[in-house]
Amino acid sequence: MTRRYVFLFASILAGCSSLRDGGGTGEPPRVAAPPESLGAAAPLELLLPMKEGSVRFAVFGDSGTGDAKQREVARMMDRYHERFPFTFAVMVGDNIYEPDAPADYRRKFEEPYANLLARGVKFYATLGNHDNPNQRFYAAFNMGGQRYYSFKPAPGVRFFAVDSTYLDPPQLEWLAKELAASGSEWKIAFMHHPLYSSGDRHGPAVEKREALEPVLLKNGVSVVLMGHEHFYERLKPQKGVYYFISGGAAKLRPGTNVSDITEKGFDADRHFMLMEISGDELYFQAISRTGQTVDSGKIRNPLKPAPETVRSTPK
């Protein structure tokens, strides 16, 4: 029996078994490194508004190590879920580092996120350069057997998973058609390789950007979520698009270079993100392994006009 079919059969069994068993030239502000030990559980600082009817989700990447640090980040995600019950999570690649036998899916995904899975949180993955492409058949990643796909968690919001490792013409054609036909007010792309980055290890994937950016701009993508760099970075809007790098859910690469396109950088510890969409506004909070807020804020959909200011007319 070939490796591929062994993998498919085993991964299906594994998927079922676990639940049973700043413009300017100054350096952007940094957050001081937290203590290495988690110690006693500290109070959570939730900075998201929890508006009625909002779309609530988590974002994380480069997570699939199965080591202690991944589990500590996962436990912090679990604690925040109790305060901020997000309904799904977006995984921006390198979901299961090799080896990727069925036992690795349990150790590197099902066990760390068991509480979230038990509460019904859905995980939507995209493929990273360290991922076996057959991960698309793993039911818990909700990829439907596709390298690239889209999903709509609520009216007016649609996500587009891009396989940035194998960015071929059929995928670009699919993405252009899907974006043009979606009719969503919020179009959010997520992929592994950062189109913009200030990292000193990888940096921006310029060739991929040249292929993807025209499609994103033409079809109204507002936000792009990325991984690959093992740190957090929020870029200043590039041609009107907001870019976030969240590649530190298990691995960490300190020593990030910053540049004039960096709005906020954090490379002192592992992290994950929470996001909330309400109407024309998207709120975000980046949280470290120890629960420290390392960045937060709000953006308006750049494709929606700002509310008019009402001025009273003098009598």
Q: Who has greater pLDDT, 84 or 17? A: 84
Task: Report the amino acid identity of residue 158.
Answer: R
Share of the chain above pLDDT 70, in %: 83
Of 35-39, 87-91, 172-176, 228-232, the least confident: 35-39
Q: How far is CA 241 from CA 51, 57, 219, 244, in A?
A: 24, 20, 12, 10
Phi, psi of 11 (to 5 degrees): -70, -35
Residue 256: the pLDDT is: 65
Q: What is the mean pLDDT of residues 271-296?
A: 98
The edge-to-edge listing of strands for the beta sheet with 157-161 is 149-154, 157-161, 186-190, 223-226, 242-246, 232-235, 262-266
33, 218 contact by CB (below 8 A): no
Q: What is the mean pLDDT of residues 271-292?
A: 98
Look at the pTM and tell me if it is higher than 0.75. yes
Q: What distance in Å separates the CA atoms of residue 7 and residue 3, rounded to the nearest whole number?
A: 6
Residue 257: the pLDDT is: 65
**Token reading at 68:** 């202690």
Q: What is the mean pLDDT of residues 81-89?
A: 98
The DSSP letter of residue 195 is: S
What residue ranges in 198-288 does DSSP mark as E strands?
Answer: 223-226, 232-235, 242-246, 262-266, 271-278, 281-288
- Confidence grade of residue 58 (pLDDT, cut at 50, 70, 90): very high
The answer to whether residue 152 scores a pLDDT higher than 90 is yes
Alpha helices (runs of H) in 21-105, residue ranges in sequence order: 68-83, 102-105
Average predicted confidence (pLDDT) for the chain: 87
The answer to whether residue 293 scores a pLDDT higher than 70 is yes
- Confidence grade of residue 254 (pLDDT, cut at 50, 70, 90): confident
- Confidence grade of residue 202 (pLDDT, cut at 50, 70, 90): confident
Share of the chain above pLDDT 90, in %: 77
Other CB atoms within 10 A of residue 96 CB: 25
Q: What distance in Å separates the CA atoms of residue 191 and residue 224, rounded to the nearest whole number?
A: 8
Q: How far is CA 63 from CA 157, 271, 282, in A?
A: 25, 10, 24
Q: What is the mean pLDDT of residues 156-185?
A: 97
Q: 3-17+49-300: CATH homologous superfamily? A: Metallo-dependent phosphatases (3.60.21.10)
Q: Model confidence over 6-20: pLDDT tens digits?
A: 344 444 444 444 333
Q: What ranges do the domains of the chain cover?
A: 3-17+49-300
Contacts of 102 by beta carbon, 8 Å cutoff, 6+ apart:
10, 11, 13, 14
Q: Summarize the chain as % helix, strand, coil (round to 5).
A: 25, 25, 50
Q: Model confidence over 222-239: pLDDT tens digits?
A: 999 999 999 999 999 999
Q: What is the mean pLDDT of residues 262-277?
A: 96
Residue 148: the pLDDT is: 98
Q: What distance in Å separates the CA atoms of residue 24 and residue 262, rounded to the nearest whole number?
A: 10
Q: Which helix (H) or strand (E) holds 157?
A: strand 157-161
- Confidence grade of residue 38 (pLDDT, cut at 50, 70, 90): low
